[in-house]
Structure 1
Amino acid sequence: MSAEELTQLIEKATEKRQQKVEGAKQALIEEMETRAAQLGLSLEGLFGLRSGKPEPAPPRRRVRKDAGGTVPVKYRGPEEGQTWSGRGRMPKWLTELEAQGKHRQDYLARN
């Protein structure tokens, strides 16, 4: 067989396969409709399909209204620029001050 003949054969086989798949699909749909009707259901009711309407989007997680914002300073150190919000890892300056016997409450920011 030539390349041209093989190409035509492949195209015909692909077309025939598509016809077979469509026929099998239609037969399955008809069988399911019959079985659903025996139970008093429709395919739409059975599978939760909506006629012509798109399915609603799945629910999303709600975003907190304060998400992405900055957290106010809760502690201020003795030197300029030493601040901590009270979240996350304790800063080194506060760890060192507590090691010296000082109390964290002494460094609460006055807002």
Structure 2
Amino acid sequence: MAKSQINLDALSVPDLTQLIEDAKVALEGKKQGAKAQLIEEMREKAAQLGLDLGELLERPGPKTNVRKPRSDTGKAVAARYRSPEGETWTGRGRMPRWLTEAVNNGKAKEDFAV
């Protein structure tokens, strides 16, 4: 890439601003031209292979890593264990103190099954 022959130090602020704007327009034009040329080359190569460019560029739907919400959210869960005093436990989460003590004292958890 050759360095421009423009003496930037000799330009005023408005002239530099105009130069930047003109350069942006020229850059965008070059990008569009290169894009069009690339698309045309890809169409020709796809045609040589007997393919349609649209089929090659078709993208599958977006892939998400979002979990599906539970279907039982907010629904009451039936108790699976009941203590002699009437306390209940659904079997979810941490084992309650009354059941932990009973299991530690030699009783089976299934003895309290509802």
TM-score, normalised to structure 1, is: 0.73
1:41 aligns to what?
Answer: 51
2:5 aligns to what?
Answer: none
Runs of 4+ in 1 over 6 A off after TM superposition: none
Instruction: Report Cα offsets for 1:13-63 as digits up to 9, x if no partner.
Output: 0000000000000000000111111111110122236xxxxx756588655
Q: How many matched pairs?
A: 103
Alignment of 1:6-85 (within 5 A): 6-48=16-58, 63-79=69-85, 82-85=87-90
Distance 2:54 2:43 in 1: 10
Residue 107 (structure 2) aligned to one of 99, 102, 105: 102
Q: For structure 1, which runs of at least 5 residues remain unmatched after alignment?
A: 50-54
Q: For structure 2, which runs of at least 5 residues remain unmatched after alignment?
A: 1-10
TM-score, normalised to structure 2, is: 0.72
Q: Which range moved further: 35-44 or 83-92?
A: 83-92
2:8 aligns to what?
Answer: none
- RMSD across aligned positions (CA): 2.6
